Amino acid sequence: MGQGLGTLFGLIAAFAIAFLVMTFGLYMPEDLISSSIVTDFLSYADLELRLAIVGTILYPSAFGGASLGTVVGYGASGASVLMFLAWGIGGLIAGLLARDFLPGILSAVFAAILGAILTWLLFFMISPGFDISAIFSNASLLLMQVSLEGAIYPCIACAIGGILGGGITRNR
């Protein structure tokens, strides 16, 4: 039970922290998040597009290839301190609710992977000319590949947070 709740709350925490920091991004230091990404975030009024920009922040490219922001044309094009901060805290919360080392790591990493899949589905749904039968088209599969490749850094940050959270709440 704790592992499932840890996955859910870790995912929600990571997206909520990134969304909150981006909402007040004008007051945040440039080292935390670039002002061009904040301007891009604040220029959209739709919640879906703002969540999509948060998704580009949380899933950067890990192999030096095209990032999610580069493929879709808006949002972050690389890793930021905000991504590590949000996923580290998300992993910590997942580990706290899982109550041991291994379940904490697994629930935290699964939260990052589940978030990548949900981010891919978000980009698929808000793409122009949305058609559910095109979910396995080349463009959609490219978005899925970039999202899952971008989950490597979040999985590392989540695993570290999951170790810490699981270690804090484990039975002694």
For 145-157, the pLDDT digits (tens) are 999 999 999 999 9
Residues of the chain with pLDDT under 50: none
pLDDT of residue 83: 94
Query: Alpha carbon of 43 to those of 15, 22, 23, 38, 50: distances in Å?
Result: 19, 12, 11, 8, 9
pLDDT of residue 1: 67
The single-letter code of the amino acid at 149 is: E
Q: Is 130 left (phi over 0), alpha (psi -120 to 50) or beta?
A: beta
- pTM, 2 dp: 0.93
Tokens of 17: 């922290």
The set of residues, in sequence order, having a beta carbon less than 8 Å from that of 83 and lying 6+ positions away, is 18, 57, 58, 59, 60, 76, 153, 154, 157
Contact present, 150 and 61 (Cβ < 8 Å) = yes
